[in-house]
Structure 1
């Protein structure tokens, strides 16, 4: 997980995470990783439109956001 987060941070590429909140809710977030620390990350959250802190243990999955292609023509 840490490798994926670091790679996206270095390449400045947003990614999608599945996150377990402190209240036990599972949410899907699009983030831009800004800094990585032991146990947590600082990232820009596109859903909340602000910088947020995410605990590493609560990130259930992370993946590259695939570009959507226009197939109309």
Structure 2
């Protein structure tokens, strides 16, 4: 899964993740990855249109999306 996140970062492709939030609920988001470390993923959440940081250990699944998004600078 970490390889998919790194590929999304390098190719600047949106990726959908399913993760466990701090309150133990499950959430699904489509993100653009801006950085990957051993512990965290820095990304732009396309749903909230805000930067987010996700713990790698909290991500349950990641998959590429076929949709294209228009990026605003």
TM-score, normalised by the number of residues in structure 2: 0.87
Find the aligned partners of 1:67 and 1:57 in 2 and give their Cα distance.
Answer: 26
> Is residue 27 of structure 1 aligned with residue 27 of structure 2?
yes
Query: Structure 1-normalised TM-score?
Result: 0.87
Whole-Å separation in 2 of the counterparts to 1:67 and 1:45 = 15
1:48 Cα shift? 1.4
**RMSD across aligned C-alpha pairs, in angstroms?**
1.3
Larger Rg: 1
What residue ranges of structure 2 are gaps of 5+ in the alignment? 69-73
How far does residue 31 in structure 1 lie from its aligned partner after superposition?
A: 0.2
Q: Residue in 2 aligned with 1:17?
A: 17
Unaligned runs of 5+ in 1: 69-73
